[in-house]
Amino acid sequence: MMKLKPSFFFFFFFFTLLASLIAATENDLEEETATNPLIQETCRKANLNVQYGFCLAALQSAPDSLCADFLRELGLISVKLVRDNITSTRCYIKYLLRDIKAGPYVRLRLDDCLDIYSDSLLAVKRIIKDYQSKRYGYANMEMSSVLDAAMACEDGFEQEEGLMSPLMKRNDNLYMLSAMALTIINMLLF
Ligand SMILES: *[C@@H]1O[C@H](CO)[C@@H](O)[C@H](O)[C@H]1NC(C)=O
């Protein structure tokens, strides 16, 4: 009986691994090329206000952005990203407020942020209506207030020395997302 050398198995195993790696890479490439050129173009134009990478990742995260054909569609997608972010953070603030360990000062700041985020949620609902009726001027004004709100919430924490904002990352996200939505609204406005 002929005995196969271990090196044969090694070679076979290695080859199979290599082949599947190549296949995986090709699949990745396919995924990567499945981007919407309108998103890239829009993010390039928005680059002055929003980091290109952030813009790309945010818009591509929306399931319906791949088949958006018009800037107007991307604008609505970006406003909805703002809305979803606000909804999620508002819920997170409530969750933090239930935490018995939160000190009185943090609690006060979180209460403020909850108000701010609740107002912003109402604002973004109006923005969606304004946007859909092409009242871009109003949408612009209200979106600026959402952007300010993200900063206002964050500033509350920075007033106290050494206090870390538990919402920093989320406020940053909202700030950048609303700057992005604002930029697209302005492209439609002017
Ligand atoms: C909020 O926006 C950021 C940036 O796009 C994203 O990474 C994060 O997942 C968003 N969160 C929600 C709940 O939409």
What are the pLDDT digits (tens) for 121-176? 999 999 999 999 999 999 999 999 999 999 999 999 988 778 889 999 999 999 99
User: Is residue 111 assigned to a domain?
Assistant: yes
- Residue 25 pLDDT: 54
Which residue, by CA, sits nearest to atom 10 of ligand 1?
85
- Residue 19 pLDDT: 59
Residue 14 has pLDDT above 90, yes or no: no
For the question of whether the overall pTM of this predicted structure is more than 0.85, the answer is no
User: Is residue 148 assigned to a domain?
Assistant: yes
User: Is residue 51 assigned to a domain?
Assistant: no
Reported confidence tier of residue 80, pLDDT bands at 50, 70, 90:
very high
User: Is residue 41 assigned to a domain?
Assistant: no
Q: Kindly report the CATH number assigned to the domain that includes residue 90.
A: 1.20.140.40
Number of domains in the chain: 1
Residue 31 has pLDDT above 70, yes or no: no
- Residue 100 pLDDT: 78
Reading the block at residue 13, the tokens are: 């195993």
Decide: 176 and 135 in contact? Cβ < 8 Å: no
Ranges of H-type helices in 34-135: 37-46, 52-60, 71-98, 104-132
Mean pLDDT of 101-126: 95
Using a 6 Å CB cutoff, which residues line ligand 1?
A: 58, 84-85, 88, 173, 177
**More confidently predicted of 13 and 139:** 139
**Secondary structure letter of residue 101 according to DSSP:** T
The dihedral over CA atoms of 33, 36, 38, 39, expressed in degrees to the nearest 10, equals -90
Ligand 1 centroid – CA 88 distance (Å): 9
User: Is residue 13 assigned to a domain?
Assistant: no
Ligand 1 centroid – CA 1 distance (Å): 63
- Write out the residue range of the structural domain in which residue 110 sits: 71-189
